[in-house]
Amino acid sequence: MLQALRAGSVPEEALEICLASITTSTIQQYNSALKLWWQFRKSRNMKVYSASVPDILKFFTTQFKNGATYTSLNSFRAALTQILGPELTSDFRIKRFFTGVHSLRPTAPRYNYTGNPCIVLTYVKSMSNETLSLQDLTYKLAILIALATGQRVQTLANIEVENIIIDENKVEVKIPKKLKTSAKGRIRPTLLLPFFNQDKKICLARTLIEYLNKTKNLRQTSKNLFITVKKPHRLVTSQTISRWLKVILKKSGLDTNKFTAHSTRHAATSADARKGVSYDSIRLAAGWSEKSSVFANHYNRPLLQKDNFATTCS
């Protein structure tokens, strides 16, 4: 990515600022795509930082024949705009190619059904905050935040202790860091976690406070809320939190071959929709833009009915 900016005559003193426009995860994604492009061009003794539309189509076709999905190819196209400019990749021939790809290899949502979040909550109810080990308390907090807010795992990994405000009625968590959903003019997410007095065993606010107290002397220099469960207690990545969520899903009785950590986002938002929560409320809580059709297209899924999955709670 850095080389691409330099090839585009971006001055050295502006490189850091330009890179700040893209999240770290997106840069990694682009680098992976650009590496394939670099290998494709070099194997043919062709220039990397300039290409014609037919050249780009040959690259896309090669990747398609290698099994690339529509989503992957779209990611490759986004990466190539960084070094070739948006004009080439928005050419009508490129658009026609992608229309063809979608017809031949249509995208499909990963989940046709969601697991019932009440199954997970029933399991979590058996976990008393006061007697839990650090590991189990960490798992419980992670799954409760994921289910209660519908946020991505990336958001959980970016919660910082200094941005948590506790008052008598609620806990407020601000997320000022740049996330996947961050964009110019879009409000950064703030999580409002009221005290759930109807059932204190699954109260997210109380669980969060307990976790803060238990990790206060373990945190050392880490500013992030979540730290590793074993010494030395360092900050954790999104991948680690995903593993934690998967552990709880499995212990709850859900099939983790069908439902991964990201499925908590589907489950939480779909459950809200089934209960009549407005789409706009779900959209704002989950961090989608005003015009986003992501929820309607991918996240609102019917409940998977199996045995007594749906009998635990209303």
Residue-range definition of the domain harbouring residue 75: 2-104
pLDDT in tens, the chain (314 residues): 666 677 666 788 887 787 777 777 777 788 888 999 999 999 999 988 889 999 999 999 999 999 999 989 999 999 898 888 888 778 999 999 999 999 998 876 554 444 556 777 778 888 899 899 999 999 999 988 887 777 778 888 889 999 999 998 888 988 876 655 544 545 567 888 888 888 888 888 899 999 999 998 887 777 889 999 988 888 888 889 988 988 888 887 765 555 554 445 544 444 444 444 343 443 444 443 444 444 334 333 443 444 332 233 44
Residues 95 and 134 in one domain: no
Asked which of 70, 104, 138 is the last residue of a domain, the reply is: 104
Asked which of 104, 133, 163 is the last residue of a domain, the reply is: 104
Residues 167 and 38 in one domain: no
Residues 91 and 175 in one domain: no
Name the one residue in this structure whose structure tokens are 């494709």. Answer: 40
Residue 111 domain-assigned (yes or no): no
Residues 76 and 163 in one domain: no
Asked which of 104, 131, 164 is the last residue of a domain, the reply is: 104
Residues 100 and 121 in one domain: no
Residues 84 and 179 in one domain: no
The backbone torsions φ and ψ at residue 158, rounded to the nearest 5 degrees and listed phi first, read: -105, 10
Q: Is the dihedral of CA 214, 218, 221, 226 positive or negative?
A: negative
- What is d(CA 17, CA 147) in angstroms, rounded to the nearest whole number? 35
Name the one residue in this structure whose structure tokens are 């046709």. Answer: 112
- What is d(CA 147, CA 179) in angstroms, rounded to the nearest whole number? 19
Residues 197 and 280 in one domain: yes
Residue 109 domain-assigned (yes or no): no
Q: What tokens were used for 275?
A: 């209960």
The total number of structural domains that make up the chain: 2
Give the CATH number for residue 12.
1.10.150.130
- What is d(CA 28, CA 276) in angstroms, rounded to the nearest whole number? 38
Residues 281 and 174 in one domain: yes
Report the DSSP pairing between strands 170-174 and 164-166: antiparallel
DSSP state, residue 50: -
Residues 199 and 98 in one domain: no
> Residue 152 carries which side chain, given as an amino acid letter?
R
Residues 15 and 73 in one domain: yes
Residue 289 domain-assigned (yes or no): yes
